[in-house]
């Protein structure tokens, strides 16, 4: 017998969705249909583009940033928006 279990909440469900980012099989409550990703990924998503997983936190604004939206500065990161502010302060 095969039971479908959500990999986040562990509850059995009729239908499982597959997260486009991590591949977890999750129930509809733990799935963001608009983005096609699971709840866990949604919480670790870049706050700038909201498309990719974050790799760090911006030193300036404290937002989660992905590789594409940030530049590594020393031990931390700077998001592209803060970077603009730093550079474009004229």
Residues found near Zn ion in the complex (CB under 5 A): 6, 8-9, 19, 21-22, 24, 27, 30, 38, 41, 46, 48-49, 58, 60-61, 66, 69, 79, 82
CB of 76 to Zn ion, least distance (A): 10
CB of 22 to Zn ion, least distance (A): 3
CB of 12 to Zn ion, least distance (A): 10
CB of 1 or CB of 52, closer to Zn ion: 52
Q: What 3 state SS string does the chain have?
A: CCCCECCCCCCECCCCEECCCCCCEECHHHEECCCCEEHHHHHCECCCCCCCECCEEECCCCCEECCCCEEEECCEEEEHHHHHHHHCCC
């Amino acid at each position: 017998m095969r039971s479908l279990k959500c990999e986040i909440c562990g509850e059995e469900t009729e239908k499982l969705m597959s997260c486009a980012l991590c591949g977890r099989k999750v129930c509809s409550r733990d799935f963001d249909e608009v983005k096609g990703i699971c709840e866990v990924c949604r919480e670790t998503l870049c706050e700038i583009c909201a498309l990719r997983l974050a790799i760090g936190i911006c030193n300036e604004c404290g937002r989660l940033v992905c590789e594409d939206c940030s530049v590594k500065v020393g031990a931390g990161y700077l998001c592209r928006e803060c970077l603009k502010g730093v550079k474009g302060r004229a």
